[in-house]
Amino acid sequence: MGYRVASVGSAAVLAGLGVALSGGVSAPRSRRRLLIGALGFATLSGVMNLASPSGIERAIWVPFAAVQIATLLWARRVEAAAAPLCAAWLGSPPLDWARRRLTGLAAA
């Protein structure tokens, strides 16, 4: 019974993280924190599945957790690489001009 409750809780956490990371959260700092939390959760999940007495469960869920960890590490790397590019792009002169222009139009 305890494992089933943990599985339901795990599914809820993973669904929430999926929704948040797929577009529900756009702030870079929050996305980085969510990715770190998801990495910790996936790592814990992998360790718990390795400790399972069921060979079938280990055969199914350990590779799943490994793919999940690899995907989250890749996403973290992409987020980290994109952060300086976004900051540079948002501060570029054409965007500053457009921002001033739109602000001026909105104020008029």
Q: What's the rounded Cα separation, in Å, for the pair 41 and 6?
A: 12
Alpha helices in the chain (DSSP H): 2-19, 28-50, 55-90, 93-107
**Amino acid (1-letter code) at residue 54:** S
pLDDT at 75: 82
| Spans of all domains in the chain | 2-83
**Per-residue pLDDT reduced to its tens digit, 9-56:** 877 887 777 777 777 776 777 778 888 888 898 898 889 888 888 888
Task: Tell me what the pLDDT averaged over the chain comes to.
Answer: 75
**Per-residue pLDDT reduced to its tens digit, 50-95:** 888 888 888 988 898 898 889 888 888 877 776 665 554 444 454 5
pLDDT at 108: 46
